[in-house]
Amino acid sequence: MNNRYRHLFFDLDRTLWDYDSNAMEALQEIYNSYKLEGVFDEFENFHCSFTKHNDELWKEFRLGKVHKDVLRTLRFEKTLFDYGTINSDLAIELNNHFLEISPRKTRLIDGAIDLLEYLRSKPYSLYIITNGFTKIQLLKMESSGLDVYFKKVFTSENTSSSKPHNDIFRQAVTSVNARKNESLMIGDDLETDITGARNYGIDQVFFNPLIVSHNHKTTFEITKLDQLREIL
Ligand SMILES: [Mg+2]
């Protein structure tokens, strides 16, 4: 094992918790129960349109351009609008339903639990740094059994900051009395996780399961979670 790192900061969505599979399952349930085939013809249309708007709105949220409540209803409003339906009440209802069921989904990225069990048997302290909302992120972790591995969860909400800004990393690292050179950030997003951690001054592991090509400098890069064992 590596003698240098002691404090491991993990991203949650798409690094440990399988956001895309869980969202898709939730959307499929919503599609069926609201009989949305009348609007979208087929599930894939609904799914694609939602994913596009959701990702765009999250980007705007990170830039401080949109409030979380607006993000939540607007993603479904825009999705419905793409297929000619203007219905704010329905958008709000779909969103409430999505928020209710999606964080309770339990799919994890392959190898997540094996990796966490391995890390737990070593002298590492594990934490989460996530841009999500506290209540939702904790619910995801509890539902999927991730909660037991982590000492603290830092969110945009409880730090009043968000990745890639220095402040969320600074609050996380200093509040657990970690040294920067003993700290490692593991995440799937080059902008928020990797650039953020690098600018703050801690080493990073880019989790790149889709093997996207890029020009970013990263301390380490892995395509499967179990490759972390070679580093740790
Ligand atoms: Mg992520």
* Average pLDDT value for the chain: 95
State yes or no: pLDDT of 214 exceeds 80.
yes
Q: Distance between CA atoms of 30 and 53, rounded to whole angstroms? A: 17
Distance 178 CA to ligand 1 centre (A): 22
pLDDT tens digits for range 61-104: 878 899 888 888 899 999 999 999 999 999 999 999 999 999 99
State yes or no: pLDDT of 116 exceeds 60.
yes
Confidence (pLDDT) at 63: 85
Distance 13 CA to ligand 1 centre (A): 4
Q: Distance between CA atoms of 186 and 229, rounded to whole angstroms? A: 13
* pLDDT band, residue 2 (cuts 50/70/90): low
CATH number given to 19-104: 1.10.150.240
Q: Is the peptide bond before 209 cis (omega within 30 degrees of 0)?
A: no
Average pLDDT over residues 41-67: 93
The amino acid that residue 10 corresponds to is F
Question: Percent of the chain, pLDDT > 70?
Answer: 99
Distance 179 CA to ligand 1 centre (A): 24
What kind of architecture, by CATH, is found in domain 7-18+108-231? 3-Layer(aba) Sandwich (3.40)
Map out the domains of the chain as residue ranges: 7-18+108-231, 19-104
Distance 77 CA to ligand 1 centre (A): 24
Average pLDDT over residues 125-143: 96
The strand order across the sheet containing 7-10 reads 152-155, 125-130, 7-10, 183-187, 203-207, 220-222
State yes or no: pLDDT of 1 exceeds 70.
no
State yes or no: pLDDT of 9 exceeds 90.
yes
